[in-house]
Each structure stands twice: as structure tokens, then as C-alpha cells.
Amino acid sequence: MSLPLVALIGRPNVGKSSLFNRFLQKRLAIVDDTPGVTRDRNYSLCEWAGRQFYLIDTGGIIPGSKSGISRMVLEQSEMAVEQADLIVFIVDCLTGLDNIDQQIAVRLLKSDKKVLLLVNKVDRELDEGEIYQFMRLGLGEPLAVSATVGLGIGEALDSIVELLPPVDETFGEDEAVRIAVIGRPNVGKSMFINRLIGEERTIVSDIPGTTRDAVDTPFEFEGRKYVLIDTAGLRRKSKVKEDIEYYTTLRTLRTIENCDVAVILLDSSEGLLFQDLKVIEDAAAARRALVLVANKWDLVEKDERTADRFTEEIRANAKTLSFIPIIYISALTGQRVIKSISYINRVYDNWYRRLPTSELNKFLEEVVQKQPPAAVRGKYIKLYYITQPAIRPPTFIFFCNYPKSLQKSYLRYLENQLRSRYDFEGIPIRIKVKKRT
């Protein structure tokens, strides 16, 4: 990426995620009083004073961590430090200078990276005099901020912009294909992303629910720009008990609404489960471009018809979603992972597909002649013309004399004919009927 990277670093519970949200003026990172809620690096594009940069929210650093998740969080934060152009080191005014703060400062001084020291939770003017104890860290004069009340946020962003390196090129996120990688917990979403981009950028663990935030990872492949979003696993609402899981489920649903392509991972070794169908329905309801990725294909005993049978099972249990393409992969071995990008590109292009009005009306004339709509209570229904007013997803409006009398079965016929004539694979197209004025 050509845009600068700014990493927010600090021990657990000093307010990194709260400041992340303040800087972006959005609630992107999960904020909770429980230490360690942020585990992966959370990337997001930030703009201030005409400069754009990527802001990275990291999990809390505990130097020397040896336990499973804590060790992986430390490794992720270390990688963020290595990649960052500027490090924003956040400490806590309320708890004061901590031994962990001093250990982190030593690590940052050895990194030879630019460091901005922010003292968070300075909620009152009386607290400002207490920030100078952090001068002992050797990282220069600290800035007082408060993520809670917004104190010093503008000044902190001004300082960040001043310390940024010059930018020769920009990585325009508006030009990138935004891909949400979704699915129930532990189907291999993080491993799929790591294999796709060739880097351990999201935590991979056998423990379900390891990924809690939605993590944005920009990358390029064959000259095309993408942003991958690894999301927390979706579960049925009855299974969501912890407050944190509740918020991550909402965040995942919001991610679906904001993406271009939803890549839905299934566990081939377990078959299609009810939770999988719910995830697919959520993505289809948001009318995103869709791709089904059946992961862990290496664990399935196969013959020449195994893939066909699995596809038939999915089609039989989700008949209204038969337009979604399916690819069988193994994130563990890398089998067909890169090929999934071609599926993503195809459905993304279909999501933007626009058909000429003349072509559509020729199509309408042919399909109505082939099978005209049935009369309802003595009313003969006439379809006059069709238009496509929108894309993302392609939306079609049929104009007729009695729109309320047009049967749903005939609308399904029209949709099937559209799909048969034109390439709308992976797209939940929208069809509306209006009365001709």
C-alpha cells in the first residue's frame, strides 16, 4: 500500500479502541471494559486535514506473553509495529506509569520508528499536570487526550499528520472491491484470508470466536485492488450470550451491508448446517454479490461425484439461492484458494451489470409471448415495458396494468428468464412491478 500506516499501540484497556473510534468518528472497533477485546489488527482508512492514512487498532501488548491467545495478540501487535510508518503509543493517565508501559517503550525505542505518545483518559484539566510523569519513557513530550469526552483529539490528529511521510501514490479504497469473508465460527475464515494474501495477518486458532472485530486488509492481485474483511463468526441469535458476541454479530451484519462481495465459508467436512443457511440468507437479504466457498475439502473422502452431491445438497436446502456459485477449496493446503478471486471478480462485475432498455424490452416481448401472465378474476394482465433504474444490485421495474394482480409465480418466471438470458450469477437481483401512468 502507498498510504501511510499508523498503528495504535499500548497495554490492554488503555483506550486504544475508543481512540480509534474517535479518530475515525465512527464506531468501528469494539469497546468493552474487558481487557483483550481487540485481538486482531483492525484497519480503517482515516482522513484529516487533507491527508489520508490507514489507522490500525491493535490488541493490548503484554511483553513476554506465553499463553495461546495472549501470545498471538502480542505477535499481531509486533507485526503492526514493523509495518507502521508511525506508532501512536497510548498510556493511561488514571493508572499512571506502568511497568508494562516501560517495557513497551524500550521496544519502540529499538524500532527506530516515529512515535507519538498520547496520554488517554485526561478527562479533567486537573489531570493534565499528571501527564509529564510519562516523560520518563524517553519518547518525547506527551499529548493529553480523552477518548471519552473528545479532549485533544484534533491536536492529536494534527500531530499524526505532521509526522506522516510524504505520499507519492494513493490507494483509493473507493476503487477497491470490498469483500466480506463471513460464516459461522471456526470454518476457516482467517486461514482463508491468510492464504489468499500470503501473510499471517489475522489470528488463526482452533478456538471458536477468536476473531471478534471486522478486520480490513487491503491488497492487490493482478492489478486489481481489494479490501478483505475478516469478520467474527455469525451464530444464531439464541446462541449469542456474551455482550461482546452480541456486538460482534451486529458488526458482522453491518459489514455485510457495507461490502460489495460476501464470501460465505462453509465447512465441507460437516456439510451444510442450519447456521450456514442463516448466514447465506443474511447476505442475500442485503443483496450483496455472493460466493459460496466450501472449505476443508481436503478432509472429505471423495469420489468423482462428491462435489456434485454436495452442490445438490446445498441447492436442495436453499432452492431460492441456487444462483450462488460454489467453489471447493482447502485453506490449509491452499487448494483452489487463489481461484476464488476469479469467482469474486465475476460476481462483482455482475453486481454492476446494466442492460440497455431496448434490449430489455425485446427480452420482455419474447418471454411474454412464450408464457403470458394468467388472468386474475377476469382481469387480463398486460406487461408494457421494463427498465433497469439501478445497479448494485441490478434492479428491474416491470410496468403493467394491474401490478397487484401479478402472481408471485410469474415474477419468479420473469427472474428465471432474466437469469437464463443474462449473466447474473451470484446476484440477488431485485424485481419491482409498477402501474403504468
Task: Say yes or no: 9 and 142 in one domain.
Answer: yes
3-state secondary structure of 1: coil
Q: Say whether pLDDT at 170 is over 50.
A: no
What's the confidence (pLDDT) of residue 416? Answer: 94
Bigger pLDDT: 7 vs 39: 7
Q: Within a domain: residue 32?
A: yes
The answer to whether the beta carbons of residues 336 and 328 sit under 8 Å apart is: yes
Domain limits for position 185:
181-351
Rounded to whole angstroms, the Cα distance separating 283 from 310 reads: 21
Rounded to whole angstroms, the Cα distance separating 346 from 323 reads: 13
Task: Say yes or no: 194 and 332 in one domain.
Answer: yes
Which are the contacts of 427, defined by CB distance < 8 A and separation ≥ 6?
289, 290, 323, 347, 350, 351, 353, 393, 394
Q: Within a domain: residue 398?
A: yes
Task: Say yes or no: 118 and 245 in one domain.
Answer: no
Task: Say yes or no: 346 and 387 in one domain.
Answer: no
Q: Say whether pLDDT at 210 is over 70.
A: no
CATH of the domain at 389: 3.30.300.20
Task: Say yes or no: 296 and 388 in one domain.
Answer: no
* pLDDT digit string, tens, across residues 76-88: 667 777 778 899 9
Q: What percent of the chain has pLDDT over 90?
A: 45
Q: Say whether pLDDT at 315 is over 50.
A: yes
What's the confidence (pLDDT) of residue 357? Answer: 95
What's the confidence (pLDDT) of residue 358? Answer: 95
Task: Say yes or no: 222 and 340 in one domain.
Answer: yes
Q: Within a domain: residue 278?
A: yes
What's the confidence (pLDDT) of residue 412? Answer: 94
The answer to whether the beta carbons of residues 211 and 40 sit under 8 Å apart is: yes
Q: Within a domain: residue 327?
A: yes
Most confident range, picked from 104-118, 239-253, 280-294, 410-424: 410-424
Q: Say whether pLDDT at 421 is over 70.
A: yes
Bigger pLDDT: 429 vs 250: 429
Q: Within a domain: residue 175?
A: no
Task: Say yes or no: 340 and 229 in one domain.
Answer: yes
**Average per-residue pLDDT in the chain?**
82
Tell me which of 137-141, 238-242, 276-280 is least confident.
238-242
CA 22 to chain CA centroid, nearest Å: 20
Tell me which of 25-39, 216-230, 416-430 is least confident.
25-39
Tell me the β-bridge partners of 42.
Answer: 57
Q: With bands split at pLDDT 50, 70 and 90, how would you rate the model's confidence at 200? A: low
Closest to 40 (Cα-Cα) out of 259, 196, 214: 214
Rounded to whole angstroms, the Cα distance separating 188 from 206 reads: 9
Task: Say yes or no: 318 and 200 in one domain.
Answer: yes
> What is this structure's pTM?
0.60
Q: Within a domain: residue 120?
A: yes
**What DSSP string describes 45-75?**
EEEETTEEEEEEE-PPP-TT--SHHHHHHHH
Q: Within a domain: residue 269?
A: yes
* pLDDT digit string, tens, across residues 384-402: 999 999 999 999 999 999 9
Q: With bands split at pLDDT 50, 70 and 90, how would you rate the model's confidence at 167? A: low
CATH of the domain at 154: 3.40.50.300
Task: Say yes or no: 397 and 306 in one domain.
Answer: no
* pLDDT digit string, tens, across residues 178-187: 999 988 888 9
Domains in the chain: how many in total? Answer: 3
DSSP 8-state class, residue 234: P
Q: With bands split at pLDDT 50, 70 and 90, how would you rate the model's confidence at 262? A: very high
Task: Say yes or no: 336 and 189 in one domain.
Answer: yes
* pLDDT digit string, tens, across residues 106-163: 988 988 899 999 999 998 765 556 788 899 999 999 999 999 999 999 999 999 999 9
Q: Which amino acid is at 396?
A: F
Q: Which amino acid is at 153?
A: I
Q: Pick from 351, 378, 409: which residue ends a domain?
A: 351
Phi/psi zone of residue 375: left (φ > 0), alpha (ψ -120 to 50 degrees), beta? beta
Q: Pick from 323, 351, 379: which residue ends a domain?
A: 351
Q: Pick from 351, 381, 409: which residue ends a domain?
A: 351
Task: Say yes or no: 97 and 225 in one domain.
Answer: no
* pLDDT digit string, tens, across residues 34-75: 444 444 446 677 889 888 887 888 877 767 665 555 666 666
Q: Say whether pLDDT at 298 is over 90.
A: yes
Task: Say yes or no: 70 and 213 in one domain.
Answer: no
